Chains A and B, each alone.
Chain A
Amino acid sequence: MKLHLKIWRQKNRKAQGQLVNYTLENVNPHMSFLEMLDTLNEQLIVNKEEPVEFDHDCREGICGQCGVVINGNAHGPLENTTTCQLHMREFKDGETVLIEPFRAKGFPVKKDLKVDRSAFDRIISAGGYVSVNTGQAPEANTIPVSHETAEAAFDSAACIGCGACVATCKNGSAALFTSAKITQLAILPQSQEERKERALKMIAQMDAEDFGHCSNTEACEVECPQGISVLNIARMNYEYNRASFLKFKK
């Protein structure tokens, strides 16, 4: 199949970017979207042009590295799918495909389709962990965790941190990501010691990274590759209110 591509090209963070037209012949419908971009890059290299930069890693839909906006949707036309798991059979022969980077104030473009998502790392560093004494691994069954609680924590922990929620949110809010990372720990017994501090610190960091307010449009859940529930955001609000109410100055 033949594709007309309009791809966002931007030299660096400060440069003014623009859409550039490319035409790609002989696209195999079984290719993944990233393989299609690889094919384009091979063609660009042969023509001594600069290849299009984009993020990717596992190409199995679990690492959260890939992610571009395709025809106006984060990760493309399929809902709950990463870009790498999107295949060219979802497009028509001769279709024009517009490819842009994830955009938000908290996600500055580094180059072409590559976006700086280190804000997410800093949110995690702010409190998305459980402090445990070093030494021998403790006996796993000392603290009982019910099957339902474990599954609920796993549901939130399924977030791969790709940033599609931020790209999809009209407010550029990182509420879904931050709330999933707060919730996965808030419901487990091992992490109760830092529960209040964790919520307050991670939310403070989220705000420091210039992400917007959550206005509960729920678009993030629809586009999230893992279908992370917006109820995580409600849980984050609860954790925030609880922590703000219960905290005391040291």
Chain B
Amino acid sequence: MNTLSRKIVMAATGLFLCFFLLIHCLGNMQLFMEPEHARLSFNAYSHFLTGNPLVKMVSYVLYASIIGHAIYALIITSKNKASGGTYKKDNRGRASKWYSRNMGVLGTVVLIFIVLHFQNFWYVYKFGQIGLDANGNKDLYAVVVAAFQELWLVVVYVIAMIALCYHLVHGITSGVRTLGLFHPKFVRWVNIVGVAYSVIICAGFAAMPIFIYITNLNN
């Protein structure tokens, strides 16, 4: 592989993950419903996601994308470190955005978050002790609500979403550019839509733990 094809892998996996985030965010919007309604609805949705064979196939693509994105990031970063020059006095930062230069750091924060996030919910749902709701579905809603009673976890989730937002702001425009979109008009539109997409998705995700924490303060 060469410098361009490796970046294509990054772009393709990254953009797929961006698309997944939209679906994930929309599905989780059920958490904002009135609690008892949210419980049944959210648990039924979770049950559907784990039972459906098509969703299962997509989930394997998702895991592969996360792993592929991380592995290629390591390969590309290590090669870039070797190719790039260092200066005694370095003022090159004036020419680019800090988040564009630190995608690896932001990505690492996001990856650590993903591991934590899997441990918080995915692992509990698959292998942990978990109750059933009135419809007989595993009560993931209760796990979510219980988890976000902890203020530190809410803070960690919000910080991770800020990191994710900056990661996406650069990642979406960069990924589309890597795939070869060069027309100035469409590039401008992708930049605008990309930033809006990143902010809306990440704000939506960050609002979930905050909402649950605040609405359960009195319990």
Contacts and interface: CB of A to CB of B under 8 A. Distances in A.
Contact of A167 (B85, B94, B97): B85
A72 to B, nearest CB: 3
The 10 closest A-B pairs by CB, nearest first: A103-B85, A72-B91, A238-B180, A212-B83, A222-B95, A234-B182, A171-B80, A219-B95, A172-B83, A216-B174
Nearest to A199: B4
B95 A105 contact: no
A168 B87 CA distance: 10
Given A212-B83, A215-B80, A98 B3 contact: no
A120 interface: no
Contact of A104 (B4, B83, B94): B83
A98 B100 contact: no
A212 B180 contact: no
Contacts of B2: 203-204, 207
Interface of A: 6, 8, 19, 69, 71-74, 79, 98, 100, 102-107, 167-173, 175, 203-204, 206-207, 210-220, 222-223, 230-242, 244
Contacts of A207: 2-3
A250 B209 CA distance: 59
Most-contacted residue by chain B among A212, A222, A238 (CB, 10 A)? A212
Interface in B167-218: 170, 173-174, 177-182, 184, 187
Nearest to B72: A213
A222 B4 CA distance: 22
Given A170-B101, A235-B180, 10 more contacts: A100-B89, A171-B84, A172-B80, A173-B80, A203-B2, A213-B7, A217-B97, A234-B180, A238-B182, A242-B180
A72 B4 contact: no
17 contacts: A8-B88, A72-B87, A73-B94, A169-B84, A172-B84, A213-B7, A214-B178, A216-B100, A216-B177, A217-B96, A217-B101, A231-B182, A231-B187, A240-B180, A241-B180, A242-B180, A244-B5
For chain A, what secondary structure do more than half of its interface residues adopt (helix, strand, loop), or is it mixed?
Answer: mixed
Contacts of B170: 216
A167 B174 CA distance: 21
Nearest to B94: A73
A236 B184 CA distance: 14
B169 to A, nearest CB: 12
Given A203-B4, A217-B101, A241-B179, A234 B187 contact: yes
B95 A206 contact: no
A173 B84 CA distance: 7
B101 A73 contact: no
A175 B84 CA distance: 13
Contacts of A239: 180
A213 B79 CA distance: 8
A216 to B, nearest CB: 4
Contacts of B173: 216
Contacts of B90: 72
Given A223-B95, A237-B180, A214 B88 contact: no
Nearest to A8: B88
Nearest to A166: B85
A22 to B, nearest CB: 15
Contacts of B181: 234, 238
B103 interface: yes
A231 B96 contact: no
Nearest to B4: A240
B8 interface: yes
A217 B3 contact: no
A233 B176 CA distance: 12
Given A212-B80, A216-B177, A237-B177, A103 B95 contact: no
Contacts of B126: none
A71 B173 CA distance: 30
A223 B97 CA distance: 14
Contacts of B8: 237, 241
